[in-house]
């Protein structure tokens, strides 16, 4: 995997999301935020996540979709249960993944972060292929950006978000990486 100057990663499928905009000028990308998502909640597979991120989610397809179909959200990347990597927003642009957020005193985490969604749910475990792909993705991103920190969505939006949840094995990921600071490092 290699990140191009256009912010697109080679070796993964690209599905353009309209839920993005320009990053603030001169803003260094220093944070990677780990999320989890499953649509419908607790179910894996299918195209509902891609439809949500591309504003094509059919509210009649599932009762839960009526609540979220109008959301304007995205992430830079999604890692499926089998390790498939999908990119929605070039890393040079701001994805709308963090919402109201703050990290180490800085608000608006979308401005200086890359968002990675893992297909999964808060209480459940994640797959080995997802950890392997996430570690490889982080290394590819570190070759281009001064990524110094790694946080959960729950770290940057405490009380509002809980993902990726207790099923995510931070020691497993952090064991494969160096030079990151987590919320536990404060």
For the annotated catalytic residues, the residue numbers are 117
Peptide bond into 85 cis (omega under 30): no
Query: What does the CA dihedral 70, 73, 79, 82 come to, rounded to 10 degrees?
Result: 0
Cα–Cα distance measured from residue 150 to residue 44, given in angstroms and rounded to the nearest whole number? 25
Cα–Cα distance measured from residue 27 to residue 151, given in angstroms and rounded to the nearest whole number? 18
Neighbour count for residue 67 (Cβ, 10 Å) = 10
**β partners of residue 2:** none
Query: How many residues belong to the chain?
Result: 186
- The sign of the CA dihedral 16, 20, 22, 28 is negative
Alpha helices in the chain (DSSP H): 48-53, 65-68, 128-142, 153-156, 170-175
């Amino acid at each position: 995997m290699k990140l191009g100057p256009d912010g697109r990663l080679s070796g993964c499928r690209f599905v353009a999301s309209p839920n993005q905009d320009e990053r603030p000028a001169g803003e260094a990308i220093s944070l990677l935020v780990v999320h989890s998502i499953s649509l419908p909640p607790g179910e894996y597979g299918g195209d509902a996540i891609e439809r949500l991120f591309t504003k094509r989610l059919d509210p009649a397809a599932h009762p839960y979709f009526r609540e979220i179909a109008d959301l304007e959200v995205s992430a830079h990347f999604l890692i499926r249960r089998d390790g498939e990597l999908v990119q929605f927003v070039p890393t040079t642009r701001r994805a709308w993944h963090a919402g109201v957020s703050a990290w180490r005193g800085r608000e608006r985490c979308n401005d200086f972060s890359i968002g990675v969604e893992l297909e999964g749910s808060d209480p459940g475990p994640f797959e080995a292929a997802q950890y392997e792909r996430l570690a490889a993705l982080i290394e590819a991103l570190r070759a281009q950006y001064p990524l110094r920190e790694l946080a959960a969505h729950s770290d940057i939006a405490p009380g509002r978000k809980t993902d990726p949840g207790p099923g995510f094995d931070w020691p497993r990921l952090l064991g494969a990486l160096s030079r990151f600071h987590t919320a536990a490092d404060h």
